A = this chain, B = another copy of it.
Amino acid sequence: MNVTLLAGGVGGARLAHGLDLALGAAPVSTSAQTGTSPQALTVVVNVGDDTELHGLAISPDIDTVVYTLAALNDEDRGWGLRGESYATLSALKDLGEDTWFTLGDRDLATHIVRTQRLRRGEPLSAVTAHLAASMGVGPRIVPVTDDHLATLVDTPSGRLGFQEYFVGRQHADAVLGLHFEGADAAHPAPGVLDALAADLVVLAPSNPFLSIEPLLAVQGVREALATAPGRRVAVSPIVGGQAIKGPAAQILETLGHEVSALGVARIYADLVDVMVIDERDAALAGPVADLGLTVHVTDTVMGGPPGRERLARELLALV
């Protein structure tokens, strides 16, 4: 079975990890040798959060997915690498650099290698494949586009760059609108449209506006998903009227949506066949079904690896 996950940061990374565990650690070539069907996971990752700091190219969502699949991530914090030190950041501060964005010493190596390869002319998709392979990651991690795509956030204080909004101001501003700079001209990275023809396509429980919308804004992606031949499933990031992590609930509200799994289902209704909602939201199963969607009710809060694998197995069973 071929599975494709559309993912943002932490929620996407956790479900990617679960799918990787559920599909088994055996590489495709080994599966083929044993005569079973190859099982392949592709994770298409948002790059609207990407930024440049200290002249280095930073891809936070890609790194969260790669670090999580490599089992190098900091589970407690939700981002970055475990056991990090911050000597370079401290020295950058001493040199007068603005260090509001925390970058660990080992994390910096990723950004240094990425920047070097991008400057040489390698596309981000090739650089990401190299980095993922260097960290022993099996699934294919693909940025949604190799072209420029930047999520800009309109707030009462004006339009902010994504990381300024999210990290610099701790997503405290009301979001009045979103702008995906470059999306109109951005082409899908090699393999992205093919990946949408998988047996199972999953929209991760990531922020619908900050993680999934910029993916869909890339030329042809929304259309390819709307007409995808496989089973299309979305997992609600809203549980009991709250986001598991981040500002999804506030943004639903300020943009005029219902702050619930039903509100999310309405956004995705034309794009998926199945909506996965949490058992705490079981009462919404009827209204979601009324949108023409199949509803799967389960415990969607993944937590650690066992919970991730369990949810992933339920998704695989939907095909």
- Enumerate chain A interface residues (CB-CB to B < 8 A): 54-56, 84-85, 87-92, 94-97, 104-110, 112-113, 115-117, 119-120, 131, 134-135
Residue of B nearest to A85 (CB): B87
- Max chain B C-beta neighbours (<10 A), residue from A54, A87, A134: A87
Residues of B close to A119: CB separation below 8 A: 55
Count copies of this chain in the complex.
2
- Max chain B C-beta neighbours (<10 A), residue from A55, A110, A115: A55
Within the complex, the shortest CB–CB distance from A33 to chain B, in Å, comes to: 27
Within the complex, the shortest CB–CB distance from A119 to chain B, in Å, comes to: 6
Cα A119 to Cα B131 in complex, Å, equals 24
Cα A299 to Cα B85 in complex, Å, equals 44
B110 touches A91 (CB 8 A): yes
A55 touches B95 (CB 8 A): no
Residue of B nearest to A113 (CB): B95
The contact of A106 among B87, B110, B113, B120, by CB within 8 Å, is B87
Residue of B nearest to A112 (CB): B54
The contact of A113 among B54, B85, B113, by CB within 8 Å, is B54
The contact of A105 among B87, B96, B110, by CB within 8 Å, is B87
Could you list 13 A-B pairs, sorted by A, with CB under 8 Å? A85-B85, A85-B105, A88-B88, A88-B106, A90-B106, A91-B106, A92-B113, A94-B135, A95-B110, A96-B134, A97-B109, A108-B108, A112-B112
B112 touches A56 (CB 8 A): yes
Residues of B close to A95: CB separation below 8 A: 109-110, 113, 131, 134-135
- Max chain B C-beta neighbours (<10 A), residue from A89, A104, A113: A113
Cα A84 to Cα B91 in complex, Å, equals 11
- Also in contact, A112 and B85, with CB within 8 A (given A55-B119, A105-B105, A119-B55): no
Residue of B nearest to A109 (CB): B91
Residues of B close to A94: CB separation below 8 A: 109, 134-135
Residues of B close to A117: CB separation below 8 A: 55
Within the complex, the shortest CB–CB distance from A82 to chain B, in Å, comes to: 12
Residue of B nearest to A134 (CB): B95
Residues of B close to A135: CB separation below 8 A: 94-95
Within the complex, the shortest CB–CB distance from A240 to chain B, in Å, comes to: 39
